[in-house]
A and B are shown apart, each in its own frame.
Chain A
Amino acid sequence: MMELLPQALTDGILLGGIYITIAIAFSLTYGVMHVIDFAVGEWIMFGAFTGYYLNKWTGLDPFIFLPVIFVIYFGVGYLVQPVIHRVLSGTKGNPFLMGLVFTFGLAIMFRGLALTAFGFYSNSIPSAFSEGSFNLDSIGLTVTIPTVRLMGLAYAVAITLILHYLLKKTNFGLGVRALAQHKDAAGLMGVNAKRTGSYVYGIYVGISAMTGVLLGCILSIGAQMGNEYTIFAFFVVVLAGMGYLAGVPWAALLLGLVQSIFMIYFNPSHTLLAVFVILYIILLISPRGLFGKGV
């Protein structure tokens, strides 16, 4: 069974790559807006269907559309954020809970809308990258790396690096970090909280929509697919530490590896249980996530 270890590790890293794409922008938006957006899976689903139809109408590879999808959904997110901002900045009731309920409601509404608009069948987005794989037999390793999953990992790394650059090396990033640390103080220093929040939410929705296209190429798409990804995004972000962006890739890779190794070496039916137990133990030891730097 040990000969399967290289493949198990490879699969785990590739699966972790998928989780990074799902969770990284989700973590960013939590860091800035302090809202758990339960509609993350639905933004992924909308992006997936946009990629599906663009591919169907034009016959072009869905990977070509990624920038277009980002721009479209950045615009959508930019327009939706003020509504969420209004809910979160209200004075009646508990704005945090109101925000949770609001995004939960959005998710349910989006799911129903998708069911009506896209139908109830599962679909798949064809891509030239779904066809091939790299075999490492020639260097003595029984390892296969599907091209499309490698593309997914590359996309995850690219998104992580771009977000890192944006946050650490630009004035916009400085404003975002200031906003994440202290909204009022950031405002006094000249950061426009509303506009910055809209940009961040736009970036998050844009990235989530692109992730949907990727997932449609690797796995499948359907009007009800969002729920599953929302749960995993939540797991990863909690494990990383709520709002701690730098922890997301490590948390995602850890979850991917746990799942892969457990599926191969232990009882696969208990895979999710294993994920829960590990999450629980880590949070018990370090309630603010893997690195103790979450909110």
Chain B
Amino acid sequence: MKFGFVRVLLLIAALFVAIPVHAEQRNFYKIGVITELSGDLVTGGNITKRGYDLWAQEVNAKGGIEVQGKKYQVKLVYADAQSNPAAGAAAAERLITQEKVDFILGPYSSGVTLAVAPVVDKYKVPMITGSAESPLIWKNKFKYTFGTIPPINFTGATSIKTLTELKPAPKTIAIIGSNDAFSKATAEAYKTAAEKAKLKIVKFSIVPSGQDMTPLLSAVRSMKPDVIAFGGHDEEHVKFVKALKQIGYTPKALLMHCGITDKAFTDAVGKDGEQIFGTTCWTGTAKTKSKVLWPTASAYAAASQKAFKNPGDYTQGGCSAAGIAFQTALQKVGAKPGMDEAMRAKLVQALEQIDVQTFYGRVKFATSGEFYHANVGLDPLTIQIQNGQIKTVGPKASVEAAAQYPMKEWKSR
């Protein structure tokens, strides 16, 4: 009996071993998506999902991606990274070895991306993250990982520069970052830019993610900084604004980054969101022109509004642009579904060569230096929430509205 059971086990094991690990023949692109569909970063994860889904819907509605005269539909296979780098890496392994995906659309967070990137390098499967912004990803020079959103050390300086050009010019700044790869990098990018702009940094602190920051902000209040800059995620932004209001301190300018361009932020904080500055690289009113899928940024925002009752923010847009980048590269090398390792290597070469105008702006991946494989085709923007709308207030060439400064006191709103 016991021997029989062992034999059955051996038979099952043999079957697994016998399954050939080679590319599957199919008439559609099977695309793995690893993102945070549960856990602390679930909001961002679902925003990336919207971006990837919208791209896939639009591609399929147009009949698919045309390669050498034939159109192939796309099919997204999701894997939940659970806001946990280890779970993200395991998901990547499963998508590659079991699902045998052609390529991967990457996570929302930098932390998970940093865990997934070595796995895609190991199996030589190309990945584009439409969201992650930490410079650490690009400094590691992962051959198979690309990103459509420029790193925060590329974009962050623009907002600080915009603020220093306001009158009366701010002189002091307090910088706080949440303790995760992206938020820490954001705080550090603001610090470098502030030092360059000769702003006096009265406080620089990294705090544990998700914590109540009121005690720290009480200390910051005593230093009376003109500007407070915060690197964090959506939920932390809501807590941060509420804490500042509760202690009754209004800086001349409050600068935040990821998440505040999403309508949900203004819905959550209401009038307290007014006049908050942000760093981004895309808005739904950006002046972009494209021949691929959506002709302009506003056409994309309208499509998103129709699909999700939300015009989408720069993260969602970055994810749709990641799909477009793959689409362009596939067409360039004539890669059909069920790619082998050699074809995937060619796809990476094609990604390195593409220079395409999209609704998101220009997508052009750096092939050397500290931004290796990050998109360096975009111009960073400084935005401000004005009457519940996102308005570009800098740099000068992109201005949609004059910056409102200094901020109105919390109590007089």
A residues apposed to B, CB below 8 Å? 3-4, 7-8, 11-12, 14-15, 18, 111-112, 115, 120-124, 126, 130-133, 135, 142, 144, 146, 148-149, 218-220, 222-225, 227-228, 259-261, 263-264, 267-269, 271-272
Contacts and interface: CB of A to CB of B under 8 A. Distances in A.
8 contacts: A8-B215, A122-B268, A132-B411, A133-B247, A144-B247, A146-B246, A220-B238, A260-B215
Interface in B252-305: 264, 267-270
Interface string B197-232: 000000001111011111110110110000000000
A268 B411 CA distance: 28
Interface string B54-94: 00000000000000000000000000000000000000000
Contacts of B245: 130-131
Nearest to B205: A268
A142 B223 CA distance: 12
B300 to A, nearest CB: 20
B38 A112 contact: yes
B248 A133 contact: yes
Contacts of A121: 43, 234, 264, 267-268
Contacts of B99: none
Nearest to A146: B246
A124 B240 CA distance: 12
- Which of B46, B206, B268, B270: most chain A CB closer than 10 A? B268
B205 A269 contact: yes
B367 interface: no
Main secondary structure of the interface of A (DSSP, over half): helix
Interface string B31-44: 00000001110110
Contact of A146 (B42, B46, B213, B247): B247
Interface residues of B, number: 38
A264 B215 contact: yes
B165 interface: no
B385 to A, nearest CB: 15
Main secondary structure of the interface of B (DSSP, over half): helix
A263 B411 CA distance: 26
Contacts of B268: 121-124, 220
Given A124-B238, A219-B212, 13 more contacts: A4-B222, A7-B222, A121-B267, A126-B270, A130-B246, A146-B246, A149-B246, A219-B238, A222-B42, A222-B235, A224-B40, A264-B215, A268-B208
Given A264-B216, A264-B219, A268-B205, A224 B234 contact: no
Contacts of B235: 122, 220, 222, 225
A152 to B, nearest CB: 11
B218 A264 contact: yes
A130 B211 contact: no
Interface of B: 38-40, 42-43, 45-46, 179, 205-208, 210-216, 218-219, 221-222, 234-235, 238-239, 242, 245-248, 264, 267-270, 411
A131 B411 contact: yes
Contact of A219 (B39, B179, B205, B242): B242
Contact of B238 (A112, A122, A149, A271): A122
A227 B83 CA distance: 13
Contacts of B211: 259, 271-272
A218 B241 CA distance: 11
Nearest to A147: B246
Contacts of B213: 263
Contact of B264 (A11, A122, A144): A122
B299 to A, nearest CB: 25
Contacts of A131: 245, 411
A234 to B, nearest CB: 16
Contacts of B45: 120
Contacts of B247: 133, 144, 146
A225 B212 CA distance: 13
A4 B272 CA distance: 26
Contact of B212 (A7, A15, A222, A223): A15
Contacts of B269: 124
- Which of B211, B246, B248, B270: most chain A CB closer than 10 A? B246
